[in-house]
Chain A
Amino acid sequence: MTDAKYHAPEQGSLEGKVFRPASLDELREAIELAFDYRGDITVELKSGGQVTGYLFNRTATGEQPTIELFPAISSGTMTIPFSEVAAVAFTGEDTATGKSWEAWVAKKDSERRREVDRVEADAKARGHL
């Protein structure tokens, strides 16, 4: 099936922002933003450690709400309880920003050409062309 073009409006990216929630509601809000974010985040744990990865799921209800990540530097998944999250930082590149169809159409021809060439070179390097 063909995927749809993403016609979302261009909005300011969360890239670089850090959320240090003061309440459960604020934490829930930050985690929802992280769930929608198309880049890696870094979770600062109350224990003092931190985990960087892609937040692909969250269970915000129930006795022990959790988030699930694909860590950036290891395989498998990691589940972290809400109660252990001290801060959420949007540290990875926002892979969706500026990628709407409208943004593509609005670009100069030379910019589009450079982008196409870069994507093609990347696919060739991976053996996908």
Chain B
Amino acid sequence: MAVPVSQMYTVTKYVLTQKLRGVKRYPLVLMLEPLFRCNLACAGCGKIQYPDHVLDKRLTPEQCWAASDECGAPIISIPGGEPLIHPEMPEIVRGLVARQKYVYLCTNAILLERKLDEYQASKFLTFSVHMDGLKDEHDLAVCRDGVYDVAVKAIKAALKRGHRVTTNTTLFDDANPERVRKFFDEMMALGVEGMMISPGYSYQKAPDQQHFLKRSRTTELFSKILSNRKRGWQFNQSPLFLEFLMGRREYQCTPWGNPTYNVFGWQRPCYLLQEGYVASFRELMEKTDWDSYGTGRNEKCADCMVHCGYEASAVEDTFGSLSGFAKTVKITLLPNVR
């Protein structure tokens, strides 16, 4: 089981409640970015490219809790920057856990082992460790030798203390399917609860033909990786989202499923596209032209198959119809049967 039953129950109850209330657009995961500063400078990272005085800005614990209360999503993902740099992060997490939010604290794990004493193990807290593959691939991706080994050591230490630990991995065109499968074996052998995978998103504007080929390459890559998957692999994601990545299902983007709040405000429309910011979650939901985003609607979105847009679509599919629910159950129990 990739996630505890209590978490599945909470999310299921939340989604069904929204549906019974007739709420058309509801957030599943709040992406809370309390700072952009990082202790790595991965080549091409779009999140850390700001002047120093912006990188030095941080959300206060009160701002983080207010965003959580305002948004109401049952799950809070805390990316960054590197959240463990934030001096008040333990306090922020304690406040969110007290609100019974399931917190995924995303980290490159460089500081994790050193900071573990500051966090209490809880079913509400998961360290989501950024791992872009086996040692060679990961160290190249983060542009520093030795980070893979540091992360593995930190994962072991966190697990030993009873923390929930998952990994999150971004894959690009150059990924080697066999190496990725070996990487999955290694992560599961470490004892992580589950793995999260997503294709990298190119912002590059390109003619339509190239967009089409790009998506085809993505589904081809994920088909090679996820076909005949091993029984021991646990993914901390909707089974239908994995089917989508393999090209077996078509979804339109659900950009309001993962709203983002950071030092600039509520980001419009999603985690990856910066079209502007608004001051309140309500304004984000009510005044964003959501129909302008997604594949086929906006050239910036043409190639995107990222979890922050499509995981919520998969969840909607699961709970939107009996056939979607039945398919989810079937894939969960028998992932290799079509």
Contacts and interface: CB of A to CB of B under 8 A. Distances in A.
Interface in B157-182: 168-170, 172
Contacts of B44: 5-7, 99-104
A128 B43 contact: no
Contacts of B200: 4-5, 7
Contacts of B271: 1
B39 to A, nearest CB: 4
B132 A2 contact: yes
Interface residues on A, range: 35 or more
Contacts of B265: 57
The interface centre, meaning the residue of B46, B47, B306 with most chain A CB atoms within 10 A of its CB, is B46
Nearest to A122: B41
A1 B51 contact: no
Size class of the contact patch on chain B = 35 or more
A9 B41 contact: no
Contact of B54 (A70, A101, A103): A70
Interface stretch (A13-21, A43-51, A113-121): A113-121
Contacts, number: 124
Nearest to B206: A9
B64 interface: no
A4 B143 contact: no
A128 B82 contact: yes
Interface string A50-93: 00001011110000000010101100000000000000000011
A5 B51 contact: no
A99 B49 contact: yes
A33 interface: no
Nearest to A119: B41
B79 A39 contact: no
B211 interface: no
B203 A6 contact: yes
B143 A128 contact: no
Given A2-B170, A99-B44, A116 B143 contact: yes
A70 B85 contact: no
Contacts of B57: 70
A3 B204 CA distance: 15
Interface of B is mostly: loop
Nearest to A5: B44
Interface string B255-287: 000000000110000011000110000000000
A38 B277 CA distance: 16
Interface string B11-54: 00000000000000000000100000101111111110111011
Nearest to B199: A4
Q: Which of B42, B265, B307 has the most CB of A within 10 A?
A: B42
A38 B49 contact: yes
Contacts of A58: 276
B111 interface: yes
A7 B303 CA distance: 12
A58 to B, nearest CB: 7
B109 interface: no
Contacts of B198: 1-2
Interface in B276-314: 276-277, 306-308
B51 A56 contact: no
A7 B168 CA distance: 20
Nearest to A128: B39
B35 to A, nearest CB: 11
A115 B41 CA distance: 9
7 contacts: A1-B79, A1-B106, A2-B169, A3-B47, A7-B200, A39-B51, A128-B39
Given A99-B44, A119-B143, 18 more contacts: A1-B168, A2-B132, A2-B169, A2-B198, A3-B42, A4-B201, A4-B306, A5-B200, A6-B203, A7-B203, A40-B51, A54-B50, A54-B51, A68-B277, A100-B44, A115-B143, A116-B143, A116-B144
Interface of B: 31, 37, 39-47, 49-51, 53-54, 57, 77, 79, 82, 85, 106, 110-111, 128, 130, 132, 143-145, 168-170, 172, 196, 198, 200-204, 264-265, 271-272, 276-277, 306-308
| Chain A to chain B: the 9 pairs with minimum beta-carbon distance, closest first | A104-B43, A101-B44, A128-B39, A5-B44, A4-B201, A2-B170, A6-B46, A7-B202, A119-B41
